[in-house]
Chains A and B, each alone.
Chain A
């Protein structure tokens, strides 16, 4: 039988489905690829040969069948392309992954306190080191995603409302960082990315409606509904620091810092502990440690923090009815704290909802950044017009 000549769209679709099968099922033989994709053996072989020439696949052994000839097994080659995920907060985390989503290296250090251009230099330095250590030429890094606090204005691309890192508001971060790293950089809110991280590798896998409530230096919310992030018209969805919970929203502190954040942000926890007559502490973590050691004042402060967080969660439940609420951030990800919040919510919510502590912890943001960078790389290579959906990423696996 003569095979039909492939049009460019059918060729694109064939390449895409072979790639998807390799992404999810490798190591896999040509025969099994044909079976899984429904393509003819000939088409499958043509695509695999083309991938081989491009350096996208490599043989990794042979089938160990009992009868007949054995077949070559293929997997995606780590040389097929790399992506970089960056999480810029009080700490800076950078991770390098290959096209199949395998994390090759990760590094983190305290962010340069001078902020601005210094922080961008620091990112470039760390990224360069990871690439060198893994013998990856920087030109092989095709897609970079940066997680930052604040609001990324979808119209201007500027980072707004990120008070905890100085000097970012006046910089063309996308342009400067793209130049330093030699690849285009996309920026996304760190809480949105932490949420995507939990969905890819963490505690929210296969959940279609998730709310991610982050408590740390600041507070914020990521919403994932029907398989999509909710960003809002101005990119300001989830800025819940200003929720009218925990105080009078007309007070000066509430207007400045946000009513909820003034109470439950890390500074709020420390301030309330001091106001309650607690001895000197510098960090929310110390207040938690004292509560665990039985300090009644610290326990009271943590209990109140859990109560206010439960009210914020109840607001989310009443409004968007998520299937799952994930608590993240340096304060929120503490499992004992999540249990306390769950108890508050179960007392006040008319509809029960599951609460889990983030399982990725402080890595959630960088893992989410990698997932978006991978989506972009895959789309660049195998995107098909009129097929808007991203290729599903492979589930986590042992390295």
Chain B
């Protein structure tokens, strides 16, 4: 039985396109139970309910009553409007854009519920327990199915005027968007998203049965030359995005994360490509928390809210 009954628990979840990670933590932010399951493909309300059921399961497993959960923080793969709490730009989970996730979860939990962009939470995770602990101005560049960015400016998360700062899938890097009108996928994601990488491998005439980016990394280990070229090209686009970020924001550190961004084979290539593309030195590091960065960031944020015994106004850009 936990010794922190009096101070309550917090629940954190990181919702991804393929999997849902969840954790129960005590008031100090120590994780007491954790689980991961595939995201409900029906999306929308089903996913919101799945998150709540995860909390029930975890509460049961550590022998606490679900009512002892005081704070809930859920990371979602999309932009959150600071005024309405509406989620947008979530191509990877169906039915989230029209659904009031926050309202549903607030009804389901008798606790303070906050939602936050998943990459923003990963940035917080790296700041709290990862490689960005000394930083006040940093970015978490997530590369996986898509591309996203969490920004830390002057020590606080920066979300933008409408909650869509860091939605860099449509950075005009790569295919020229002024000649590609109407593409549903952003120019940058068309170069570095996982589909783009696999497609590039096929177009370059790669042999083997590469159907996922993971396959391409395996082929690279086996000495496949096409895989090496494909990753070189991908790394160059990533390096261009980093040069762009540095031109705009002049950050202390850029953390590379996400299932693809965290791979050392990619990180090394990006590091080598950068000096030719940007005149000043740029500090980049691979995520130390890996695929748990978002979940850990969510736990830290929820535990902090619990300790302060108040939920920070959810999108209080001017407070903090």
Binding site for B on A (CB under 8 A): 208-209, 221, 223, 225-228, 230-245, 249-250, 255, 307, 310-311, 314-316, 318-323, 344, 347-351
Taken residue by residue from 92 to 127, chain B's Cβ proximity to chain A (1 for < 8 Å, 0 otherwise) reads as 000000000000000000000000000000000000
Given contacts A307-B178, A319-B245, contact A232 B251 (CB under 8 A): yes
CA A347 – CA B181 in complex, angstroms? 7
CA distance A249 to B243 in the complex (A): 10
What residues of B have a CB within 8 angstroms of the CB of A310 in the complex?
A: 178
Segment among B5-13, B158-166, B190-198, B199-207 that sits at the interface with chain A: B158-166
The residues in B between 128 and 155 inclusive whose CB is less than 8 angstroms from any CB of A are 137, 149, 151, 153-154
In the bound complex, residues from chain B placing their C-beta under 8 Å from that of A311 are 172, 176-178
Q: How far is the CA of A386 from the CA of B186 in the complex (A)?
A: 45
A/B interface sample: 22 pairs, CB < 8 A: A208-B161, A221-B248, A223-B248, A225-B153, A225-B158, A228-B154, A239-B247, A239-B250, A245-B172, A311-B176, A318-B167, A318-B168, A319-B151, A319-B168, A319-B171, A320-B160, A321-B161, A322-B161, A347-B178, A347-B181, A348-B172, A349-B170
The yes or no answer to B35 lying at the interface (CB within 8 A) is no
B317 at interface (Cβ–Cβ under 8 A)? yes
Q: How far is the CA of A250 from the CA of B159 in the complex (A)?
A: 32
Pick from A221, A239, A244, A316: contact of B240, CB below 8 A.
Answer: A244
Which of B162, B178, B278, B317 lies in contact with A351, CB distance below 8 A? B162
Q: Which of B137, B149, B276 contacts A233 (CB 8 A)?
A: B137
Contact: A348 with B177, CB < 8 Å? yes
What string of 1s and 0s marks CB contacts (under 8 Å) between B266-286 and chain A?
000000000011111000000
Known: A314-B170, A320-B165, A348-B181. 15 other contacts (CB 8 A): A209-B160, A233-B137, A234-B280, A240-B247, A243-B247, A311-B172, A315-B248, A318-B168, A318-B186, A321-B161, A321-B163, A322-B161, A344-B178, A347-B181, A348-B177
Nearest Cβ in chain A — how far from B259, in angstroms? 22
Which residue of chain B has the shortest Cβ distance to A231 in the bound complex?
B250
Residues of B within 8 Å of A230, CB to CB, are 153, 249
- Residues A242 and B279 in contact, CB atoms below 8 Å apart: yes
A contact residues around B165 at 8 Å (CB): 319-321
Are A321 and B247 in contact (CB-based, < 8 A)? no
Q: How far is the CB of B242 from chain A (nearest CB, A)?
A: 10
List chain B residues, Cβ under 8 A from A347: 178, 181
Task: Decide if the interface of chain A is mainly helix, strand, loop or mixed.
Answer: loop
**What A residues does B317 contact at CB under 8 A?**
208, 226
- Alpha-carbon gap, A228 to B172, bound state (A): 26
A231 to B251, CA, bound (A): 10
Q: Quick check: is B304 within 8 A (CB to CB) of the other chain?
A: no
Contacts of B153 in A (CB 8 A): 225, 230
Q: CA A320 – CA B178 in complex, angstroms?
A: 20
Does A244 lie within 8 Å of B173, measured CB to CB? yes
State in angstroms the CA–CA spacing of A110 and B137 once bound together: 39
User: Which residue of chain B lies nearest to A316 when distances are taken between CB atoms in the complex?
Assistant: B248
Evaluate contact between A314 and B318: CB separation under 8 angstroms.
no
B:207-235 near A, CB below 8 Å? none
Instruction: From known contacts A232-B251, A314-B172, A349-B170, infer whether A208 and B318 are also in contact, taking CB-CB under 8 Å.
Output: yes
Most A C-beta atoms less than 10 A away, residue of B172, B247, B248: B247
Contacts of B172 in A (CB 8 A): 245, 311, 314-315, 318, 348
CA gap between A88 and B2 in the complex, in Å: 66
List A contacts of B159 (CB < 8 A): 321
Q: CB distance A242 to B247 under 8 Å?
A: yes
Is the Cβ of A244 less than 8 Å from the Cβ of B177? no
- Tell me, in angstroms, the Cα distance from A230 to B158 when the chains sit together: 11
B252 closest partner in A (C-beta): A233
The reply to whether the CB of B39 lies closer than 8 angstroms to some CB of chain A is no
Max chain B C-beta neighbours (<10 A), residue from A227, A316, A349, A350: A350
Cα of A318 to Cα of B168 in the assembled complex, Å: 5
**Alpha-carbon gap, A225 to B137, bound state (A):** 13
Q: How far is the CB of A193 from chain B (nearest CB, A)?
A: 18
Contact B164 A351 (CB under 8 A): yes
Contacts of A236 in B (CB 8 A): 250, 280
Q: B198 to chain A: closest CB distance in Å?
A: 24
Bound form: Cα–Cα A238–B250 in Å: 8
Q: Are B249 and A249 in contact (CB under 8 A)?
A: no
Q: Which of the residues A240, A323, A344 comes within 8 Å of B161, measured between beta carbons?
A: A323
The distance in angstroms between the C-alpha atoms of A27 and B163, with both chains bound, is 41
Residue among B160, B172, B240 with most chain A CB within 10 A = B172
In the assembled complex, the Cα of A242 lies from the Cα of B176 at a distance in Å of: 17
Any A CB within 8 A of the CB of B90 = no
A242, A320, A322 pick with most chain B CB within 10 angstroms: A320
Is B244 an interface position by the 8 A CB rule?
yes
Task: Report the separation of the CA atoms of residues A234 and B247 in the bound assembly, to the nearest whole angstrom.
Answer: 11
What 3 A-B pairs have minimum CB-CB distances, sorted nearest first? A232-B250, A321-B160, A323-B161
Q: Which residue of B lies closest to A351 (CB)?
A: B164
A315 to B154, CA, bound (A): 21
Complex CA distance for A199 and B154, rounded to whole angstroms:
21
Instruction: Report the nearest A residue to B149, measured CB to CB.
Output: A319
CB distance from A215 to the nearest CB of B (A): 15
A235 interface neighbour in B163, B166, B250, B279, Cβ under 8 Å: B250
Please give, as numbers and ranges, the residues of chain B lying within 8 Å of A349 by CB-CB distance: 170
**Nearest Cβ in chain A — how far from B48, in angstroms?**
25
Q: Which residues of A contact B170 (CB under 8 A)?
A: 314, 318, 348-350
CB contacts (< 8 Å) of A228 on chain B: these are 154
Enumerate chain B residues within 8 angstroms of A231, measured Cβ to Cβ.
250
Q: In the complex, A226 Cα to B249 Cα: how many Å?
A: 15
Residues of B within 8 A of A240 (CB): 247-248
Interchain CA distance A319-B164 in the complex, whole Å:
8
State in angstroms the CA–CA spacing of A315 and B178 once bound together.
Answer: 13
Q: Closest Cβ of chain A: how far from B220's Cβ, in Å?
A: 24
Q: How far is the CB of A278 from chain B (nearest CB, A)?
A: 23
Residue of A nearest to B319 (CB): A226
Residues of B with C-beta under 8 A to A208: 161, 317-318
Minimum CB distance partner of B184 in chain A: A350
B170 to chain A, nearest CB (A): 5
B244 in contact with A243 (CB, 8 Å): yes
